[in-house]
Amino acid sequence: MRLLVDTHTLIWAVDDPTKLSGPATTALQNTANDLLLSAATVWELAIKIGLGKITLAHSYRLWIDNAIADLGLVILPVTVEYADRQAGLQNHHKDPFDRLIISQALVEGIPVICADAIFDTYGVTRLW
């Protein structure tokens, strides 16, 4: 199954797996799943680390490279199609990074591994 990993899910999976739900942990550990990571998440983390809003266990580059390798993540690029879908979303969620992840999930028709219930208001299938 193809699954999109949300930003907080990625952080918890790497730095504090006890915060993950049972189904999220199972999905992340199931090697039959294709785990996708939005390029928006890569960018969001870099921005928030640069602003001092997030602290990770290691330097950003080492942390993200290890996370991608350890979880077997494939980067899902940002495309015009995703941006266009985001532009048409209702304004339930204010975070532009989450809105892009929601758009990617909707366009691709794939679930998001995410604890944020507001994703449900967009009709996203959320695994948690």
Grade residue 95 by pLDDT with cuts at 50, 70 and 90. confident
Domain segments of the chain: what residues? 2-127
In terms of Cβ atoms closer than 10 Å to its own Cβ (0-12, 13-18, 19+), residue 16 is: exposed
CATH of 2-127, one of 3.40.50.1010, 3.20.20.210, 3.40.50.2000, 3.30.420.40: 3.40.50.1010
pLDDT of residue 31: 95
What is the DSSP annotation of 50-81?
HTTS---SS-HHHHHHHHHHHHT-EEE---HH
Mean pLDDT of 120-128: 95
pLDDT at 72 over 90: yes
Q: Report, in angstroms and rounded to the nearest whole number, the Rg of the chain calculated over CA atoms.
A: 14
Backbone φ and ψ of 54, nearest 5°: -130, 140
**Does residue 54 contact residue 45 with C-beta atoms inside 8 Å?**
yes
Name residues whose C-beta falls within 8 Å of residue 112's C-beta, 6 or more positions apart in sequence. 3, 4, 5, 6, 101, 102, 105, 119, 124, 125, 126, 127
* Residue 91 DSSP one-character state: T
